[in-house]
Structure 1
């Protein structure tokens, strides 16, 4: 089961106020623990809303409107996300509760959601990855054979 852990943006993250070295060390250790446990799929920080564009579609159809950021912080933005693959909701919650919280930054919120599993899509991605690995090995073997042939000719 895949879960996304979403850290909500704050006025501090929107203003790009740097985190403390202690917090950065804690986050590094947390990400290393996720990776060592084999559950980390992805993790990224998002740029503040001033770097974003909102695409608004009218309810009655028609052309979308583009709005450039910044946007009011009161609209629940994300500042970062972590994507994990675990065997249960309890395990996902265990990891979510271990996520470090920045000190002296006021209220902080992490949202955890399970991703919809589309078994066809997951199987297809696994096959695509396997096929890419096999293709790469084939190219490496061909290159090696060509190199060996070149060495034997001389």
Structure 2
């Protein structure tokens, strides 16, 4: 079963800054454990929302609406994700609880 572990955006990630060295080391170790366990499918960091757009379709059959970033709803923004392939929701939760960031 595929599960996505979502890394929420922060003011730091939205500013386009990389995490500090301690956090980078923790992320690297976590990713290595995922690889060793054979469950990591993909992991990616995303650009800040200032580099993005949203395309919405408010009315069926009408033109889409394009909104350029940055977006202010920081609690809804994602800085990255890890896609894992595990046997159950419980195993996915176990991996999520191991995330240090």
TM over 0.5: yes
Aligned to 2:12: 12
SS in 2 for 1:43: strand
**Structure richer in helix, relative to its length:** 1
> When the two structures are superposed, what TM-score results if normalisation uses the length of structure 1?
0.62
Q: How has the CA–CA distance of structure 1 residues 75 and 94 changed in structure 2, closer, same or farther, with 3 Å as cutoff?
A: closer
SS in 2 for 1:82: strand
Give the superposition deviation at 1:58.
1.8
Q: 1 CA distance for matches of 2:8 and 2:91?
A: 21
Aligned residues of 1:49 and 1:70 also touching (Cα < 8 A)? yes
**Structure richer in strand, relative to its length:** 2
Count of residues in Structure 1 that have an aligned counterpart in Structure 2: 101
Higher relative contact order (CA 8 A, sep 6+): 2
Show structure 1 runs of 4+ deviating over 2 A: none
Aligned to 2:85: 85
Q: 1 CA distance for matches of 2:36 and 2:69?
A: 37
Aligned to 2:97: 97
> When the two structures are superposed, what TM-score results if normalisation uses the length of structure 2?
0.92
RMSD over equivalenced CA pairs, Å: 1.3
Give the superposition deviation at 1:92.
0.5
